[in-house]
Structure 1
Amino acid sequence: MGLILCKWLVPVWYVFVHPFYVSVTEIRHNAAKQELEISCRIFSDDLEQALKTQYKSPSLDIIRPANRKTVDSFLSDYITKHLRITADGKPLHLQYLGYQIAEDATWCFLEVKQVAAVKRLQVSNNILYAEHPNQINMMHVIVQDERKSTKLDNPEQEAEFRF
C-alpha cells in the first residue's frame, strides 16, 4: 500500500515543485469567410505576471480587471508582438478581438481578414519566453480540414506549415 501511495504522491509533488509552462495557439483558416481565426490559451497567472512586468502595472488583474480596456490594450499589444504570422510570404496584421477566462487559463482571440487561401504559413511564437526559460508553445493549424501541429521549446520560435 505504501508503494502505491508513494507512486501517486511523488508525481503530484513533482508538478508543484517543478511547474510546467505551456501555451496553445490554434490557427484555423475559414475559407467561407476568407479569414484566419486565431485563439491562444495561456495560463492566466503566467500571462498576468508577464503583463505586470512588461507594462509596469503591479496591480493589474486580468481575471477581475478594474479597467477592462486597459487589460485589452495590454493583451493586444503583447500578443501581436509575440505572435507573428506570414501567409504565402505575406506578413499578416493580427486583429485582437478580446479575451475570456476559463478556469486557470486566459483565451485570447484574434483574426486576420481577407485570406482567401493558404498554402504556407510561417509562424513566429515566443509567448512567455522572456518570463519562462522552460516555456513550451504548442501550435495547431487547420486548413481545409487538414490539421498540422508542432511544439516549440524555448528558445525555438519559428514554425512553418505547408498545405
Structure 2
Amino acid sequence: MKLKYKIVVFGLFLTLSAFTWHKFYVSVTEVAYSEDKNRIEISTRIFIDDLEKGLEKKYNKKINLATKEEIPEAKDFIKGYVSQRIQANVNNKTAEVVFLGFETENDVLICYLKIDFSEKITTFELYNNMLTEIYADQQNLVHTNINNTKRSFLLTKTEKTALIKY
C-alpha cells in the first residue's frame, strides 16, 4: 500500500512539474461604426509592459510607461508606434486612421483612434501587427461591429490583416 501511495505521489509530482507558467501575449482591438458621428471608432488594449518593450526596441530608450519616471516623449512614441501598427482600408481605399489619445487602466494601455467616414461601408480591412516584432506568439484579437454585423478575428505575426465584405 505504501509503495502504491509513493508511486501515485511521484506520478502526481511529475505531472505537475511538467507544467510551467507561460505568459501569453495579446492585444484586443474593438472597431465600431458610429452612424451618428459618421466615423469608425477604434480602441485597442495592450499590456503596458509588452508595449514598453516594443517602444524601447523601436526608439532605443528606456520609456518607463505609466510610472513617475516616464520620459516626456512617451506620448509621442505611443502615438507613432500605434499609428504605424494599426492601419485600415475602407471600401478598398486607404483610410486615414487618426490617433485620438490613450489612458491606462491597471496594467493595460487603451488607445483610441478614429476614421472619419460617411459613406456606406462595403468592405473594411484592418491591418494590426501590434508587438509581432517582439513576440513571435503575439495574438491580436479584433472585434468589429460595422453595419450591424459583428465579427471577430485572431491576427498573428503571419496573419496581420482582417478583411470583411458587406
- Identical positions, percent: 25
Matched residue type, 1:50: G
Distance in structure 2 (CA, Å) of the matches to 1:55 and 1:114: 32
- Match in the other structure for 2:47: 43
Contact between 2:121 and 2:147, CA under 8 Å: does it hold in 1? no
- Match in the other structure for 2:134: 131
**Could you tell me how far 1:125 is from its partner in structure 2?**
1.0
Q: What secondary structure, in the 3-state scheme, does the structure 2 residue paired with 1:77 have?
A: helix
The within-5 A match list for 1:1-163 is: 10=16, 14=20, 16=21, 18-58=22-62, 60-64=63-67, 70-163=73-166
**Could you tell me how far 1:71 is from its partner in structure 2?**
1.7
Distance in structure 2 (CA, Å) of the matches to 1:111 and 1:65: 29
CA distance 1:68–1:147, shift in 2 (3 Å): farther
Distance in structure 2 (CA, Å) of the matches to 1:154 and 1:102: 26
TM-score of the two chains, using structure 2 as the length reference: 0.83
**Could you tell me how far 1:145 is from its partner in structure 2?**
2.8
Summarize deviations over 1:17-70 as a string: whole Å, max 9, x none.
x11001111111111111011001111100011111111111x12212656762
How many aligned positions are there?
155
If you compute each CA radius of gyration, which structure gives the higher value, 1 or 2?
A: 2
Mark the runs of 5 or more structure 1 residues left unpaired by the alignment: none
Distance in structure 2 (CA, Å) of the matches to 1:25 and 1:115: 22
Summarize deviations over 1:72-115 as a string: whole Å, max 9, x none.
21111111111110000111111111111112211011111134
Q: List structure 1 runs of 4+ shifted beyond 6 angstroms.
A: none
Mark the runs of 5 or more structure 2 residues left unpaired by the alignment: 1-7
- How big is the alpha-carbon RMSD for the aligned residues of Structure 1 and Structure 2? 2.4
TM-score of the two chains, using structure 1 as the length reference: 0.85
Distance in structure 2 (CA, Å) of the matches to 1:126 and 1:55: 17
